[in-house]
Amino acid sequence: MKLKDNVAVITGAGSGIGREIALEFCRAGAKVAICDINMQGAHDTVAEIEAAGGSAIAIEMDVTDEAAVNAGVDKAFARFGRIDTMISNAGVQIVHPIEDFPYADFRKVMDIHVGGGFLLTKACVKYMYAQKSGALIYMGSAHSHEASPLKSAYVAAKHALLGLGRVMAKEGAKHGVRSNVICPGFVKTPLVEKQIPEQARSLGISEEEVVARIMLGDTVDQEFTTIKDVADVAVFLAGFGSNALTGQSILVSHGWHMA
């Protein structure tokens, strides 16, 4: 039970990577707040955790809405009495060549990933600083270090999270708060399934080529990263015992981008 009684607030935990992190945290003994705009997904995650004997609460939270983020984190604290781990994971992907990229879509991607990470951090450190401990974890991407065509908004947002994570390592240190960024390669979740036909259309290539060339071409073994791979790293970071591991980004990408 590496995370026994650790209380984690996880955004985007109604689906994909966030959901698996929540399940893995509970297997490790944590109690989790499942925050999402997708309440069906959030309730399903809670039901699965409770069926396995764990503790979880579903919280409706749009990470771009400051009042909703503050209220959601307060609700998690009221239920569990502390906040030990923040996982800023909610995200979307919108792809266009820049000449066709609506500014509203650019702002949406930035608001959810970067604005959401900022607001969630602000709400969580209030409790972590009072406790003098905590772990901030941001869901970056191999695209925090690499670029791909069509992804101006996403790549800019994921690079920005490195900056936010590093600032928080410096600001958080004296309060016992660590801050790190997880950078997965491609993981087969709804966010990625949706991109395969979209990119095939935009780039004029087959869906098989999108997977083999664009998504897995730079890995060492042409394999997708799994939700479990990412969740295992999140458990490791949340449970790490000292401030030695802070201000870092960890690639979980089958060797796509070696940093």
Residue 197 CB, nearest distance to ligand NAD (Å)? 15
Structure tokens given for 29: 């003994």
Smallest distance, ligand NAD to C-beta of residue 227, A:
7
- 81 versus 197: smaller Cβ distance to ligand NAD: 197
- Strand 85-88 versus strand 134-139 pairing type: parallel
Catalytic residue among 103, 127, 129, 154: 154
Q: Interface with ligand NAD by CB under 6 A: which residues?
A: 11-12, 14-18, 36-38, 41, 61-64, 89-92, 112, 139, 141, 184, 186-187, 189-192
Is 138 among the catalytic positions?
no
The neighbour count for residue 101, using CB atoms within 10 Å, is 17
Nearest distance from C-beta of residue 17 to ligand NAD, angstroms: 4
CB of 11 to ligand NAD, least distance (A): 5
Residue where the block lists tokens 């970067």: 114
> Which residues, listed in sequence order, are joined to residue 184 by a DSSP beta bridge?
252
User: How many angstroms separate the CA atoms of 197 and 217, rounded?
Assistant: 17
Calculate the alpha carbon distances from 137 to 21, 160, 187, 244 in Å: 11, 14, 18, 15
Q: Got the DSSP string for 32-43? A: EEEEES-HHHHH
Task: List residues with catalytic annotation.
Answer: 154
